Structure 1
Amino acid sequence: MNRAKSTLEQWRILQAVVDHGGYAQAAAALNKSQSSLNHAVAKLQHQLGVELLTIRGRKAYLTDQGEVLLRRSRYITQSVAELEQLAANLERGWEPSLTIAREIIYPMDKLIAAINAFLPNCRGTRISVIDSVLTGTHELIESQKVDLALCGGNPPKGHLAQPLCTVDLVAVCHPSHELALNPRELDDKSLARHLQIVIRDTGTKTNQDMGWLKAEQRWTVNNFHEAKAILATGSGFCWLPQELVSSELDAGKLTRLYITGSEYRRIPINLIVPNRDEQGPASKHLEQLILAEHGISHAK
């Protein structure tokens, strides 16, 4: 392995000379002697065999080669600073990564807002979001494969849950569909004769596909976007989050169906910490930001 000809300290000194406009100013900013900075840059140029700076009057100017190398050096010194910060965070117990299970009916804009609020103080923590459905969310919680879970419906047995919001699912179809002819005069028997689009349960142990399941014919898809694509062709009906289809309903691209005894299905969403005893500071911070998105600040 070839040893590096230069050091990070030399590059940091070069950056300071350029950023502060000269050796004297950089020396004052770094609390070093001007001669030591002159020596460091001169040695760096000699080691590389490339002229990096020229002096005109009392100010230092980058050469063309120096500008290219300086720009690349900033990535390196920044990466080292981030690496050192990550090591310090790990020493203090700050998690390098977080995984969130998100029941797909949970409003994504709320989660994005919380993650954006987390970003300025994330200390390099990486975030992964797993979209899950029904028992798939429960399995992630029970196996403690996630740090936080946004769970629809009742929480798994033995887990405390903080209620966040409710999501209303409404039955919809394309305006050209037969069901749209009398959308306010429907019952479960009339629905059962038509194709239903349902969302696949992501659990591995059971299968409880999302939606009213009395239809004789069903097509199962992975998410709401696939369901909407099928509905757009005029096939079937589906229970979808009202917020997700509000624009299509307003534009007349979808028709809402009103079923006697069940005009909509209201699903509670809870925030669950699968293992609070092992919860780290990054997870706690993000938890509070998610709660804040729902106007909740008292939960601990």
Structure 2
Amino acid sequence: MFRPKSTLEQWRIFQAVVEYGGYAQAAEKLNKSQSSLNHAIAKLQQTLGVALLEVRGRKAYLTDAGDMFLRRAKLLNQNMQELELLAHNIHQGWEAEIRLAVEIAHPRRPLNRALQNYYPISRGTHLQLFDSVLGGTEEFIQEHRANIVIAGLVPKGFLGEPLSEVTFLPVCHPQHPMALETGLLTSEELSQHLQIVIRDTAKNPKELTGWLKAEQRWTVTNFHEAIETILSGMGFAWIPQHLVEGFIQRQQLHRIRLREGNERKIFTHLIVPAPERLGPSANCLLECLRLSHPLTASYWLNNKKSAEVELSPPTTAS
């Protein structure tokens, strides 16, 4: 096994001398004597056989080699800091891993905004993100296979907070026979054409009436595969508006006009299957998800303000 000749403390001192602009300044910041810092750097350079710093006047300057080693030293010190922080967080009950399951119809933009806000405070927690569909999403909730779930339906016995409104539109290729119709189509006429549907990720999927009415249907894994199939000229599908509006504007896809039920709307919900098991990292992610979605952000902020008002001591009249 490799045994290092240099120490982490030597690399920490080397970085400090450079960043604070000299031995005296670094000694003050590190609460060490200047002579101990001089000795540590001299020993490090001797061990490596490479000059890292040169002193001119009262200031230390990086050599070309030192500049390259400094980048590696910063990474080394950062990794050690994160490693010890991770151990501390686990000791304090901070989760090593959390699982988030998301219904694939849920818009990704606010979700990604939440993840961007969560990352700096995640403290090294490993996040597992699962895409799910219909019954598969319900299984994540019922079987407690995820800490947090974003679902289209709230199963009986669980509570959910509305996150986003999702509008589904029926679309086909601009050259598809349905796109060339001048009048409005009925649902019966629609059902005569090939429908592209998304595979339910449940162990034992159930077909939901109203969504799978076509006699001919092809099943794909996700909405992006469905869009690709339709772009090739085959079939139609109900796709979330946020995924197809660009294609419609560029006239790459055609929005099918129906006599009734021209669009379908659902709400996605934020669900915590086992609130009593939620740790501090999952709670941080939960708050980021709430604040990144307009439907819950105002409600959540108002509730927090109300709680702060209720908890604050009453003022006495002068």
TM-score over 0.5 (shorter chain): yes
Shift of 1:212: 2.5
> Match for residue 96 of structure 1?
96
Deviations 1:177-210 (A, max 9, x none): 1111226521122112211111111111224379
Conserved 8 A contact 1:53-1:61: yes
Aligned length: 299
AA of the residue aligned to 2:161 = Q
Unaligned stretches of 5+ residues in structure 2 = 308-318
Q: TM-score, normalised by structure 1?
A: 0.93
Deviations 1:192-236 (A, max 9, x none): 221111111111122437973221211111111111111112211
**Distance in 2, Cα, partners of 1:184 & 1:202:** 36
The percent identity for this pair of structures is: 48
Could you say what secondary structure the match of 2:41 adopts?
helix
Q: 1:229 to 1:25 in 2, by over 3 A?
A: same
Shift of 1:261: 3.1
Deviates more, 1:268-277 or 1:49-58: 49-58
**Distance in 2, Cα, partners of 1:106 & 1:20:** 48
Deviations 1:36-65 (A, max 9, x none): 111111122222333322222222222333
> Match for residue 268 of structure 1?
267
> Match for residue 17 of structure 1?
17
**Distance in 2, Cα, partners of 1:182 & 1:55:** 82
> Match for residue 281 of structure 2?
282
Could you say what secondary structure the match of 2:42 adopts?
helix
Q: 1:184 to 1:87 in 2, by over 3 A?
A: farther
> Match for residue 108 of structure 2?
108
Could you say what secondary structure the match of 2:284 adopts?
helix
Shift of 1:130: 1.1
**Distance in 2, Cα, partners of 1:54 & 1:128:** 47
Q: How does 1:109-148 map to 2 (within 5 A)?
A: 109-148=109-148
> Match for residue 63 of structure 1?
63
**Distance in 2, Cα, partners of 1:47 & 1:269:** 60
**Distance in 2, Cα, partners of 1:160 & 1:250:** 38
Q: CA RMSD in A?
A: 2.0
**Distance in 2, Cα, partners of 1:179 & 1:116:** 41
**Distance in 1, Cα, partners of 2:242 & 2:33:** 63
Moved beyond 6 Å, runs of 4+: none
Q: 1:273 to 1:183 in 2, by over 3 A?
A: farther
**Distance in 2, Cα, partners of 1:6 & 1:210:** 68
> Match for residue 249 of structure 1?
248
Unaligned stretches of 5+ residues in structure 1 = none
> Match for residue 181 of structure 1?
180
Could you say what secondary structure the match of 1:157 adopts?
coil
Conserved 8 A contact 1:200-1:210: no
AA of the residue aligned to 2:81 = A
> Match for residue 312 of structure 2?
none
> Match for residue 227 of structure 2?
228
> Match for residue 215 of structure 2?
216
Shift of 1:159: 1.6
**Distance in 2, Cα, partners of 1:210 & 1:25:** 73
Conserved 8 A contact 1:249-1:256: yes
Could you say what secondary structure the match of 2:179 adopts?
helix
AA of the residue aligned to 2:255 = R
